Each structure stands twice: as C-alpha cells, then as structure tokens.
Amino acid sequence: MAKQAVGLLETRGLACLVVGVDAMLKSANVELLGPMKQVGNGLCNAVVSGDVAAVKAAIDSGAAIAASIGEVVSAHVIARPDDAIEGVLPKEVARAPRK
C-alpha cells in the first residue's frame, strides 16, 4: 500500500458525514478513497488516506465537526496498514480535470 495511514469515519446520517468529510479534506493533506458509502440503518462511512499525522489530524477534525451536528459512531486511524487490507478498502476516486 502506497499510503502510510488509513482513516475511517462512520456516522449515523449522511449530512453529518458530508460535513465531517469536508472538514477532513480541508484540514489536512489527505485523499478521499472511493465514494462515501451508506452501510444501512442510517450508518454511513468514508475512508481517507495519507501520512499518519495528516490522517490523525483529519479524523480528529472531521469527527469533532460531525459530532457537533449528528452522531459519530466510529472514528479510527490505522497507521501502516498491512497490504492485505487493500482489497477491502474503496478504490481512489477518479477525479475529472479542473477547468
């Protein structure tokens, strides 16, 4: 795996997840992996990657903002994930070129 850390944010409700992901992407140099996903029963999650300090800062920021408007179920950072988990992580989002 090319990234040094993976961060996961899970909330109950899409609105607080979107706000949390926005805060994560603005607060640190991290990349959103794949689309945000609805798990069921109102649970939604997002995965970011980057260096360990950036992912930790992003997850802390995103979880705090998301908790202020909804329920954060889980926020976790995995430093130096094993290559075997790459198969269960979402693929990187393909971005259109900016105009």
Q: Is 98 part of any domain?
A: no
Domain count, the chain: 1
Helix, strand, coil in percent for the chain, rounding step 5: 35, 35, 25
Q: In which domain, by residue range, is 54 found?
A: 5-82
Q: Model-level pTM? A: 0.84
Chain segment 29-43, per-residue pLDDT in tens: 999 998 877 777 889
Q: Is 65 part of any domain?
A: yes
Whether residue 1 is predicted with pLDDT greater than 50 in this model: the reply is no
Q: Is 92 part of any domain?
A: no
pLDDT, residue 39, reads: 79
Whether residue 20 is predicted with pLDDT greater than 70 in this model: the reply is yes
CATH number for the domain spanning 30: value is 3.30.70.1710
Chain segment 56-99, per-residue pLDDT in tens: 999 999 999 999 999 999 999 999 998 888 877 777 655 555 55
